[in-house]
Homo-oligomer: A and B are copies of this chain.
Amino acid sequence: MENNAKKRQRPGRANIKLEDVAIHAGVSPATVSRFLNNPKVVSEEAKKRIKAAIATLGYMPHRAARALASNHSRTIGAVVPTLDNAIFSRQIMAFQNRLAFNGYTLLLAVSEYDADSEFQQARVLLEHGVEALMLVGERRSAEFYSLLTRVGVPFVNTWLYRSDSIHPCCGFIHDSTQQVLVDHLVGLGHRRLSVITGQPENNDRVATRLNAIVAALESHGLDLDPRCVINTHYSYADGREALRRLMALDEQPTAVLAGNDVLASGVLFEAHSQGIDVPGHLSVTGFGDLAISEHLYPPLTTIRTPKEEIGEAAADFLIARLAGRETPDRTELPARFCLRASTGPAATPALAHGIGGDGF
């Protein structure tokens, strides 16, 4: 009867609140709160008693209440296209790790490469009061960007770097990175290249790299046969299927630029099962450098992308912003060319259709 108000029970939480700790420790709630948030202003004596009270009561702060009162949720959101690809999962791991280290919790959503879904999910994260947001890519609706600026949370676009971007970003320059691969192949004598990649309409990095390939070829006086460009999804089976289509062409390409290492692996697998010699008959490049890529037969020539570095840099950027620290809007984390054995001199036309080399 000591409490005549209808007591709304809190299912789903231990029912100990800050006030209980205060009573137990013989101090005011304000002091307990200060102990939690800024311990140096409370006396040793009070600290000791509060600590004891927290321990014996098993008190856990109620973050929603804290968020409401202090206007700080201590959460940061991320929306990524998928976790299927090791690329994003490593980024997220590094990101989450950095956040946790700094006392932030990650709210995660997956967009499945769908722009509407990305927007929708980001909205929900904002409603949840995330103090900052990590996103992938930069192409999105004006409405999305205007929400972001209206709400005023710091955000960062990852996986790309453009020195003239109007938004904070961290990643690498896709054009020049992609160009390295094209130059490499052309330098090996390849004249008829092919591309197997994702859907440019859902993925601005794919679109950029595709353009970069065309531009790079142009600079060599070459062009890209549209029949040699296959836009597909990111699975091994898709990579295999794409190579089959390419090999069915009457003028077969001598090299394949795969959009990522999964696709490239698929190409390698298919080449193997068809007895196509790589790199004797066909050169293959990947993009991303997965852990497995150096172990494939032959080891894959690819681009090592800074997955963890991007996650960490994004976290550091956002945390710095939230702490009011000055920090540059754009961070370039270069991707590196990994020359391995899946690329080699273009077969001379005379040999082009033979099954060369020692296979696998």
> Which residues of the other chain, B, contact A90 by a CB distance below 8 angstroms?
83-84
**Known pairs A13-B126, A360-B360 / 13 extra A-B pairs, C-beta < 8 Å:** A12-B151, A13-B129, A14-B150, A14-B151, A58-B150, A62-B68, A64-B65, A82-B93, A83-B83, A97-B112, A105-B125, A265-B292, A272-B360
Classify chain A: how many residues form its interface, as a range.
Answer: 35 or more
Closest CB in chain B relative to A69 CB, distance in Å: 9
Identical copies in the complex: 2
* Shortest 5 CB-CB contacts between residues of A and residues of B: A64-B67, A83-B89, A269-B295, A360-B360, A108-B108
Closest CB in chain B relative to A105 CB, distance in Å: 6
Q: Encode A177-215 as 1/0 by CB contact (under 8 A) with B.
A: 000000000000000000000000000000000000000
Q: Encode A110-122 as 1/0 by CB contact (under 8 A) with B.
A: 1010000000010
> Which residues of the other chain, B, contact A359 by a CB distance below 8 angstroms?
360
Which residue of the partner chain, among B60, B73, B82, B124, contacts A123 with CB atoms under 8 Å? B60
Closest CB in chain B relative to A240 CB, distance in Å: 8
Q: Is the CB of B73 within 8 A of A84?
A: no
Is A333's beta carbon under 8 Å from chain B? no
Q: Encode A80-108 as 1/0 by CB contact (under 8 A) with B.
A: 00111010011011001100100001111
A297–B297 alpha-carbon span in the complex (Å): 10
> Which residues of the other chain, B, contact A152 by a CB distance below 8 angstroms?
11-14
